[in-house]
């Protein structure tokens, strides 16, 4: 197998639902980061990019018709560059990177792009076709921004509950208090605000439509303001809008290649992709999907928790993240999401997996190398994890 490297990683700023990027189509979001990668590699002939893998969790609207291929064409890459779109819901962007890395590892490609794109603002309403023509009864429109719709009646009811209720289940099971969730959320906002203040994201964020920062970060967030928010999913519950990730718009992309691809790109590798893992779990417990995925990836990498220098754990909910950390007692929580996580930065579903992998690669570079872990939970009960080894150069 060939060694596989993350050569570069970029993302858009992450926009709020209905915010600064709500006027940008998801295929244009994708094209923006693909074009940015090409522009950051001025010595690279774009025709040398052998494939583009993109994740999208929706696919019901403007991201239809293979958003990866649309991104290639809209970005102005040669028409000879192909593209494929994958869907593993919240893990789609990370799944795209995994698929890309496998293609390079087995020698099917030497230089590829992987990423993800999502506009939750522009996710359409959809309506199923009636069982017969000219149905006179009322019809139901379904919002495709997030969660279940048009559920198969054969699916057990406990598997199709709202994602926030799933977080409430984990909060109960792991005895995670409202106060602990709010503290976790506050940490995310403070670290994200501090990272922006220090210029940490300058290496990865490419402004779009005059937006040059992540819109959901609240530098003025406080324990008091978070405590005032009411539970959203359960009366007397603990999961609120403040300790959950918001709805967002954004895209991210990575340049991935082998040694020959790195030479053609002109980039010194940020990190080597060491190991990957995917697991399944009961759908209502989706939030702890990363637990076994991470353990498996570490085992395949031949390392332990103590070998890690940085961890990017996607923060779908504070309760879900804290449940994962409870299952990883040997992990130092201080190395997790050191520049904030999705509660503050945002969670544009199809993009998030690629975002955390790119963020991890850049952070390992800043730390001079070493091992890192990116992990993400996935609705309907799955988890993904990738181990990187930073090059330190």
DSSP code string of 169-200: HHHHHTT--HHHHHHHHHHHHHHHHHHHHHTG
Contact criterion met (CB below 8 Å) for 267 and 113: no
Is 166 a known active-site residue?
no
State the first-to-last Cα distance of the chain, in angstroms, to the nearest integer.
23
Q: Is 324 a catalytic residue?
A: no
CA distance 42 to 40: 6
- The residue with tokens 């997996």 is 353
Among 90, 189, 324, 362, the active-site one is 90
Of 69, 3, 14, 7, give the one whose Cα is nearest residue 215.
14
Considering the candidates 189, 267, 347, 362, report the single residue annotated as catalytic. Answer: 347
Q: What is the dihedral of CA 324, 325, 331, 334, to 10 degrees?
A: 130
Biggest alpha carbon distance in the chain? 67
Distance CA 37, CA 34 (A): 5
**Beta strands 52-55; 83-86: pairing state:** parallel
Phi and psi for 256 in degrees, rounded to 5? -125, 135
- In Å, what is the CA distance from 315 to each residue of 6, 23, 60, 161, 177? 23, 26, 25, 19, 17
Q: Is 159 exposed, middle or buried (0-12, 13-18, 19+ CB in 10 A)?
A: middle
Q: Catalytic site residue 377?
A: yes
Q: Name the active-site residue from 166, 189, 362, 377.
A: 377
Residue 173: both structure tokens together: 């099971």
What is the dihedral angle through the alpha carbons of 44, 47, 50, 53, rounded to the nearest 10 degrees? 90
- Just list the catalytic residues: 90, 347, 377
């Amino acid at each position: 197998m060939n060694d596989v490297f993350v050569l570069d990683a970029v993302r858009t700023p992450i926009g709020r639902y209905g915010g600064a990027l709500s006027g940008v189509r998801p295929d244009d979001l994708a094209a923006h980061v693909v074009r940015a990668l090409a522009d950051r590699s001025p010595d690279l002939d774009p025709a040398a990019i052998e494939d583009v893998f993109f994740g999208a969790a929706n696919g019901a609207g403007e991201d239809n018709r293979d958003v990866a291929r649309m991104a290639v064409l809209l970005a102005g890459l040669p028409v000879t560059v192909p593209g494929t779109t994958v869907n593993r819901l919240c893990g789609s962007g990370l799944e795209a990177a995994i698929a890309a890395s496998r293609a390079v590892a087995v020698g099917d490609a030497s230089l590829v792009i992987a990423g993800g794109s999502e506009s939750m603002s522009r996710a359409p309403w959809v309506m199923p076709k009636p069982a017969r023509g000219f149905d006179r009864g009322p019809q139901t429109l379904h919002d495709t921004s997030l969660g279940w719709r048009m559920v198969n009646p054969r699916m057990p009811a406990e598997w199709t509950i709202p994602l926030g209720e799933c977080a409430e289940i984990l909060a109960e099971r792991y005895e995670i208090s409202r106060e602990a969730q709010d503290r976790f959320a506050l940490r995310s906002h403070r670290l994200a605000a501090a990272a922006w203040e220090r210029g940490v994201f300058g290496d990865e964020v490419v402004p779009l439509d005059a937006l040059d920062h992540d819109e959901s970060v609240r530098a003025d967030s406080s324990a008091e303001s978070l405590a005032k928010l009411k539970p959203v999913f359960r009366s007397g519950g603990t999961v609120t809008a403040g300790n959950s990730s918001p709805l967002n718009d954004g895209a991210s992309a990575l340049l991935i290649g082998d040694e020959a691809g790195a030479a053609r790109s002109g980039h010194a590798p940020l990190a080597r992709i060491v190991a990957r893992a995917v697991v399944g779990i009961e759908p209502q417990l989706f939030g702890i999907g990363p637990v076994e995925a991470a353990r498996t990836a570490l085992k395949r990498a031949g390392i332990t928790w103590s070998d890690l220098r940085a961890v990017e754990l996607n923060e779908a909910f504070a309760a879900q993240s804290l449940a994962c950390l409870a299952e990883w007692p040997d992990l130092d929580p201080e190395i997790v999401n050191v520049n904030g996580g999705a509660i503050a930065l945002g969670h544009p579903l199809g993009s998030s997996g690629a975002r955390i992998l790119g963020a991890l690669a850049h952070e390992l570079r800043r730390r001079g190398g070493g091992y890192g872990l990116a992990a993400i939970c996935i609705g309907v009960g799955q988890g993904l994890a990738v181990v990187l080894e930073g090059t330190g150069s």
